[in-house]
Amino acid sequence: MKKPAVFLDRDGVLNEDTGYVFRPQDLRWIEGAREAVKFINEAGYFVFVVTNQSGVARGFYEECHVQELHSWMADELAKIGAHIDQFEYCPDHPEAVVERYRCNSTRRKPEPGMIVDLVARYAVDTSRSILIGDKQTDIQAALAAGIKGYLFSGGDLCAFTKSILTK
């Protein structure tokens, strides 16, 4: 049985985009972000995070740091009874300093690869799924994957999410 999903960008949607966040002590949640995840959970949707993490390719931090931050975020969400079904990230960048990450990846937004991969792994009803992002590249990835994209420009993420899902 398929169910809909909400795909969330990370930096600028779940947490403030202060530039290459990779340490828990540097992460500042967006207002209503944790509550938005809980609301989405309770509404019966999958919740996925899809995030470009070019800081890895630029040599600012390593993949293990991204994974540790995502684990910490999951622990923080669990404290209020919320969860992310899967965190996906793309460490690649065409101008990477770290050679193994230098490529034009189909997983790097605006390409839809992360979304497509999640849809292939989970029973996702794409006709009722959405993406919430803060950049046009997020919206382009959503459209390329066949789902609706919504541009979040700040404020309370929970109120924003409720306005979309209760239409």
Rounded mean pLDDT, 98-127: 98
C-beta separation of 158 from 35 below 8 A: yes
CB-side neighbour CA atoms (13 Å) of 91 = 18
The CATH number that domain 6-101+124-165 falls under is 3.40.50.1000
Q: What is the mean pLDDT of the chain?
A: 97
Look up tokens 């609706």; give the residue.
148
Pull the structure tokens for residue 10.
């990370």
Of the chain, the percentage scoring pLDDT greater than 70 comes to 100
The answer, yes or no, to whether residue 167 has pLDDT greater than 80, is: no
pLDDT value at 165 more than 80: yes
Span 18-31, average pLDDT:
97
- Rounded Cα distance, 152 and 150, in Å: 6
**In this predicted model, what pLDDT tens digit does every residue of 79-90 receive, in sequence order?**
999 999 999 999
pLDDT digits (tens, 9 = 90+) for 51-66: 999 999 999 999 999 9
pLDDT tens string 122-159: 999 999 999 999 999 999 999 999 999 999 999 999 99
41, 9, 2: which is closest to 128 by C-alpha?
A: 2
Q: Name the pTM for this structure.
A: 0.97
**50: closest CA among 123, 129, 141?**
141
Question: The tokens of 29 are what?
Answer: 């949640």
- C-beta of residue 95 within 8 angstroms of C-beta of residue 102: yes
Take residue 157 and report the two structure tokens written for it: 């993420």
- In the prediction, which pLDDT does 16 show? 97
- Phi first, then psi, for residue 11 (nearest 5°) are -70, 120
Phi, psi of 52 (to 5 degrees): -75, 135
Query: What residues are labeled active site?
Result: 9, 11
**Does the pLDDT of residue 114 top 90, yes or no?**
yes
